[in-house]
Amino acid sequence: MHLSSLDLAVVVIYAVMLLFIAQWVSREKAGHKKDTQDYFLAGRALPWWAIGASLIAANISAEQIIGMSGSAFVMGVAIASYEWMAALTLVIVGKYLLPVFLKYKIYTMPQFLEQRYDHRVRMVLAVFWLGVYVFVNLTSIIWLGALAINTITGLDMTYAMLLLAAFAAGYSLYGGLKAVALTDIIQVVLLVFGGLMIAYISMNQISGGQGVIAGFAMVLEQAPEKFDMILSKDSPHYVHLPGISVLVGGMWIMNLSYWGFNQYIIQRALAAKSTAEAQKGIVFAAFLKLLMPVLVVLPGIAAVILAPDLSTPDKAYPEVMKLLPAGIMGLVFAALIAAIVSSLASMMNSISTIFTMDVFKHYVDRSEQQLVTVGRIASFSALVIAVIVARPLLGNFDQAFQYIQEFTGFFTPGIVAIFLLAIFWKKTTASGALAAAIGSAAFSVGAKLWWPSLPFIDRVGLAFVLCVALGMIVSWVGGGGRDHPNAIEYSEVDTSTSPAYNWASVVIVLILTGLYAAWW
C-alpha cells in the first residue's frame, strides 16, 4: 500500500509547519543566549496546557500506538489498564510527589538523589537511565515507528528509521525542551483527532456503514472475550496481566516509576512556572489518559474482525489504517508521525539533560552555552546509536510493548523503592538505596529463573517489597537507626491542591470505577 498524492501533501505540510513552529518558539530575545535552564527546562516557564499536552505527547508514541494496539489484538481491552491506571497515578504524583521535586528546584531525578543521598547514587542511576533510555526506549520508538511507516507506505525499514531520526533532530536539537513542549499541543490535537477518526471509521466499517454504535455492538457480540478487564487465571494472557494485580499489585509500581520518577516524563513538570501550574497540567494529562484506549486499544480489537490473519500483532494498527480514504489517511498518518517524533524529541532531550547535568558537568567545567552544545551533541549521538541497534534488539519481537514492559520490570521495583524511601523514611542511607537498586535486578532475575510461572507484574510487586525491606535493613544497620543528615522533612512540603484539582480527581476516580465495573 502507498499513500496517495493528497496524503503525501498533507504529511509534508504538517512536517514543514511543525519544523517552522518549533524554530519560531525557540527563538531568543536579541542578545540572549540559551543557558541550561532555557534548553533543558524551557526557562521554568511552561504553562499548564503545554505541560499536560507534552506529558501525553511524550508518552504516546509508537510503543503505545503500535505496541499496545498489537497487544489489544491479542488480549483485548485488558491492556487498557496501563492507560486507565496511569490516570489515577498522575493524580497521586501531582499531589504527593511532584511538590517535593519542585521544592528542590532540580534539573534531573539523579540530581535529587544526590541531594538526598550522595553522589554515588546519582551516578549509578544516571548511568542506568542513560542505558535504558538509549537501548530500550529510544530504540523501541525508532523501530516501532519505522514498522508503522513500512506497513503503511512500503518504505524500507532502514530508510524509515533514518527519516524519523532526521525529522526528530531537525525538530528539537536547536530549541530543546521549549521547542518540544510548546509544539506538543499541536501534536496532541492531531493525535486525538487521528485516533478518533480511525476508531470511527473502523467501527463504521464493521457495521457495514450503520454507524459507530452499531459497529461497537457487533464487536462486543463477535469478540466478547476481548472485553475482560480483569483476566482470570485460566486466560492464556494471565501471565501478562494477572487479574486483580493490575489494580492493587505491581501495576502501581510500574506506573509510579514511569509517571513519578522518570526523567523522560517528569521533566515537563519540573519546567513549570509554579507548582499549581504543574498540577493543572497533570490533571489535564490524566483526563487525556482516560481517552487513550479509544485511540490505541479499540483499533487493535477492531483488527480482530477486520484483519484476523495478521502475520504479527504489531501490524494491527497500520492494517486498520488502510481502511481510511485519501486525505483522511494523510491526516491520521501525520498524527502517527506526530506521536513518534514528539516522543523521540522528548527522549533525546532527557538523555541530553542527564548526560550533561549529571555526568559531563561533574567532570568537566564548562560555560552555560558550552553545556547546551554538549547537550545537543549527546542528543544526536543517542539518536545515531538507537538507529544502529534497533534492528538487532527488536527485530525478532512480535509484541514489543509486552517485552519492553517486562524488561523495565526488572529495575522499576528498586527505583520506586529508592525514591519512596528517600521521601518518606528519614533513616534511609545511600548504602541502603544502592542495596535496593542492586537488589531489584537480583530479586527480579531470581524470581524469573526459579519461579517462572509468576506473572511479571506480580514479580514486580514482590521485588518491590523485598527492595524496600533490604533498603531499610541496610540503612538501619549502617546508619545506627539515626535520621540521615539530608533527610526530607515531608511535613514542610506544601501538598495542598486547589478545589478544581480535588474535584477533577474525584471525577477521574468515578470514571475509572464505572469502566472497571462495566467490564469486570
Cβ neighbors of 133 (< 8 A, separation 6 or more) are 263, 264, 347, 350, 351, 354, 382
> Which range is least confidently modeled, 131-135, 362-366, 445-449, 469-473?
362-366
Of residues 355 and 245, more confidently modeled: 355
Judge whether residue 194 has pLDDT over 90.
Answer: no
Q: How far apart are CA 206 and CA 188, in angstroms?
A: 27
| pLDDT score of 402 | 57
CA 44, distance to chain mean position in Å, is 21
| pLDDT score of 452 | 87
Q: Could you tell me if 109 and 125 are in contact, meaning their C-beta atoms sit under 8 angstroms apart?
A: yes
Write the DSSP assignment of 200-231 as a string of letters. Answer: HHHHHHHTTSS-HHHHHHHHHHH-GGG--SS-
| Of 104, 86, 105, the residue nearest 94 (C-alpha) | 86
CA torsion sign for 429, 435, 439, 440 is positive
Judge whether residue 398 has pLDDT over 60.
Answer: no
Q: What is the mean pLDDT of residues 358-369?
A: 85
Q: What is the mean pLDDT of residues 416-433?
A: 95
Beta bridge mates, 46: 272
Q: Could you tell me if 356 and 378 are in contact, meaning their C-beta atoms sit under 8 angstroms apart?
A: yes
> Which range is least confidently modeled, 124-133, 213-222, 332-341?
332-341
pLDDT by residue (tens digit) across 49-78? 999 998 988 888 766 787 788 888 888 888
| pLDDT score of 407 | 72
Q: How far apart are CA 427 and CA 487, in angstroms?
A: 7
Judge whether residue 181 has pLDDT over 70.
Answer: yes
Q: Could you tell me if 402 and 71 are in contact, meaning their C-beta atoms sit under 8 angstroms apart?
A: yes
pLDDT band for 39, please (50, 70, 90 cuts). confident
Q: Could you tell me if 184 and 53 are in contact, meaning their C-beta atoms sit under 8 angstroms apart?
A: yes
> Which range is least confidently modeled, 176-185, 212-221, 434-443?
176-185
Q: What is the mean pLDDT of residues 263-278?
A: 89
pLDDT by residue (tens digit) across 199-220? 888 898 898 888 888 988 998 8
298-301 LR contacts (CB < 8 Å, sep 24+): 298/72, 298/199, 298/202, 298/203, 299/69, 299/72, 299/195, 299/198, 299/199, 299/202, 300/68, 300/69, 300/70, 300/71, 300/72, 300/73, 300/79, 301/72, 301/73, 301/76, 301/77, 301/219, 301/223, 301/226
Q: Can you read off the three cell numbers belonging to residue 146? A: 519505522
Q: Mind listing the domains of the chain with CATH numbers?
A: 5-406 (1.20.1730.10), 409-488 (no CATH)
CA torsion sign for 188, 130, 107, 262 is positive
Judge whether residue 2 has pLDDT over 70.
Answer: no
Q: How far apart are CA 504 and CA 502, in angstroms?
A: 5
Q: Could you tell me if 21 and 183 are in contact, meaning their C-beta atoms sit under 8 angstroms apart?
A: yes
Q: How far apart are CA 257 and CA 248, in angstroms?
A: 15
Q: Could you tell me if 271 and 184 are in contact, meaning their C-beta atoms sit under 8 angstroms apart?
A: no
| pLDDT score of 32 | 62
Cβ neighbors of 389 (< 8 A, separation 6 or more) are 135, 139
Cβ neighbors of 78 (< 8 A, separation 6 or more) are 228, 229, 230, 231, 237, 241, 246
